[in-house]
Amino acid sequence: MSQTAAPTGPDALAATAATPHTPLTDGVREALAISLRGCEELLPEAEWVKKLQRAEATGQPLRIKLGLDPTAPDIHIGHTVVLNKMRQLQDLGHKVIFLIGDFTSMIGDPSGRNATRPPLTREQIEANAQTYYKQASLVLDPARTEIRYNSEWSDPLGARGMIELSAKYTLARMLERDDFTKRFKAGNPISLHELLYPLMQGYDSVALKSDLELGGTDQKFNLLVGRALQQEYGQEPQCILTMPLLEGLDGVEKMSKSKHNYIGITDEPNSMFAKVLSISDVQMWKWFTLLSFRPEAEIAALKREVEGGRNPKDAKVQLAREITTRFHGAAAAEAAVEDFHRRAAGGVPDEIPDVALTGAPLAIGALLKQAGLAPSTSEALRLVEQGGVRVDGSTVSDKGLKLAPGCYVVQVGKRKFARVTLVA
């Protein structure tokens, strides 16, 4: 767990607090371990321990906040990394607040951007927000989740309130933010409304009196602004917990719909299962840590078995089954497992290349070329004419075949195989 050394600006608020002298109870120790599992930073950790101790002593649950801007109509499993952490803390008895940023979406989050993000219209935001909580409820317990919209307190602020809020934070501290600094030095435009985004997200923490705010590593600055504003308003500052950003199916870029490397939580069960199987053996262990609810000791034991010679595909099947079960139920997951075994029984070698392609539906000729199974599109179509191409065990005879998004075992001749994951 890393702490920020000699920080300045908002990071100064993350300095480590004094270590509590009270010995930790088993309950607090367990809660701290669950908090730390897979997280990038927990700041300040000692303050979080004190909050946990107080909650245990008083029986009053802590208020844990996660805000998501409805910038797209659906959630992918990369979003569920922080939702999983919320669910783990929810299961400890704490109050979780799922905040839909309908107001902040109209500003546009500048986090990680090198250009101004186009703000969404109210109609787009409302349409996207309709599905957000429904999908988040596949991870969170809806009966124990408080759902809020930040327009509740942001709209009534008005011009006077916005000016008073802006007076509580300086431009110098705002420009310490890495993406603002890079854009300023490069001469790229920074619109004034973008400077309001961290302030409004921070004000959410004031309005909700949150004890802990969760977010991805790209949200650290915004979360620290929340701590600063809570102090300005005379509140006990929240702690912050950041989670790593999940790499997508390509194993390189963070999971994103715009990068076509994602698994949507509403994907069909067989497609979801197959896409999880398509990730690399190395990437699998990070996914276990961030997406699985299995005990860490169980995951460690499974990893030792693989290192000792067990087929890594066995472990990946367990991960894919767990994730598919979470979003589609046990029956659909077992059907996906059976579908996988039917394909594997068709003479497919245990170890074949995994290839992720975009642009589905994709023509069979282009697929074979892009997957490295044919040197050119014309050669690929010649192979189809000769009956030398199989998809999921069936011979392809239609040169105009287009494959929809999903995962396919593609065979050319007797020896060339690839497991191809197609995304739109």
Average pLDDT of the residues in 293-298? 94
Higher per-residue pLDDT: 422 or 305: 305
Establish if 146 belongs to a structural domain: yes
Establish if 76 belongs to a structural domain: yes
Same domain? 375 vs 325 = no
Higher per-residue pLDDT: 259 or 303: 303
pLDDT at 111: 61
Same domain? 274 vs 209 = no
> Helix or strand or coil: residue 408?
strand
Label residues 50-69 b or e (16+ Cβ within 10 Å = b): bbbbebeeeeebbbbbbbbb
Average pLDDT of the residues in 56-63? 97
Q: Report the predicted TM-score, pTM, of the whole model to 2 decimal places.
A: 0.76
Average pLDDT of the residues in 396-402? 87
pLDDT at 14: 41
pLDDT at 90: 97
Same domain? 59 vs 208 = yes
**Mean pLDDT in the chain?**
86
pLDDT in tens, 226-259: 999 999 999 999 999 999 999 988 888 888 877 7
Phi, psi of 409 (to 5 degrees): -95, 115
CA-based angle 172:178:179, to the nearest 5? 105
Instruction: Tell me the CATH number at 303.
Output: 1.10.240.10
Same domain? 287 vs 377 = no
pLDDT at 380: 86
pLDDT in tens, 155-194: 999 999 999 999 999 888 888 888 888 888 888 888 888 8
Amino acid at 159: A
The residue out of 297, 321, 344 marking a domain boundary is 344
Q: Are 411 and 390 in contact (CB under 8 A)?
A: yes
pLDDT at 63 exceeding the cut of 80: yes
Instruction: Tell me the CATH number at 379.
Output: 3.10.290.10
Same domain? 326 vs 228 = no
Same domain? 289 vs 378 = no
pLDDT at 19: 47
Identify the CA nearest to 169 among candidates 240, 238, 229: 229
Establish if 185 belongs to a structural domain: yes
In sign, the C-alpha dihedral spanning 178, 173, 36, 150 is negative
Same domain? 144 vs 48 = yes
Q: Are 276 and 263 in contact (CB under 8 A)?
A: yes
State the residue for tokens 């497919």: 348
Establish if 349 belongs to a structural domain: no
pLDDT at 344: 64
Q: Are 140 and 209 in contact (CB under 8 A)?
A: no
State the residue for tokens 């299962």: 273
Instruction: Tell me the CATH number at 75.
Output: 3.40.50.620
Same domain? 293 vs 412 = no
pLDDT level of residue 370 (50, 70, 90 thresholds): very high
Identify the CA nearest to 178 among candidates 142, 219, 126, 123: 219
372 lies in which domain range?
354-423
Higher per-residue pLDDT: 116 or 9: 116
pLDDT at 113: 52
pLDDT at 149 exceeding the cut of 60: yes
Strand partners, 363: 402
Helices 26-36 and 45-58 cross at an angle (nearest 10°) of 140
pLDDT at 11: 44
Contacts of 81 (CB under 8 A, 6+ apart): 38, 216, 243, 244, 245, 246, 290, 291
pLDDT at 15 exceeding the cut of 60: no
pLDDT at 321 exceeding the cut of 50: yes
Establish if 255 belongs to a structural domain: no
Identify the CA nearest to 259 among candidates 247, 271, 273: 247
Same domain? 65 vs 151 = yes
CA-based angle 253:254:259, to the nearest 5? 70
Contacts of 12 (CB under 8 A, 6+ apart): none
Same domain? 92 vs 161 = yes
- Number of compact structural domains in the chain: 3
Q: Are 111 and 218 in contact (CB under 8 A)?
A: yes
pLDDT at 290: 95
Same domain? 220 vs 71 = yes
Establish if 252 belongs to a structural domain: no
Helices 281-291 and 312-328 cross at an angle (nearest 10°) of 40
CB-CB neighbours of 186 under 10 Å: 8
Establish if 2 belongs to a structural domain: no
Establish if 16 belongs to a structural domain: yes
Tokens of 241: 């917990």
Alpha helices for 92-150 (secondary structure H):
122-136
Tokens of 189: 């435009």
Same domain? 307 vs 401 = no
pLDDT in tens, 190-231: 888 888 999 999 999 999 999 999 999 989 999 999 999 999
- Return d(Cα 152, Cα 200) in angstroms, integer: 12
E strands, 173-211, in order: none
Q: Are 199 and 171 in contact (CB under 8 A)?
A: no
pLDDT at 126 exceeding the cut of 70: yes
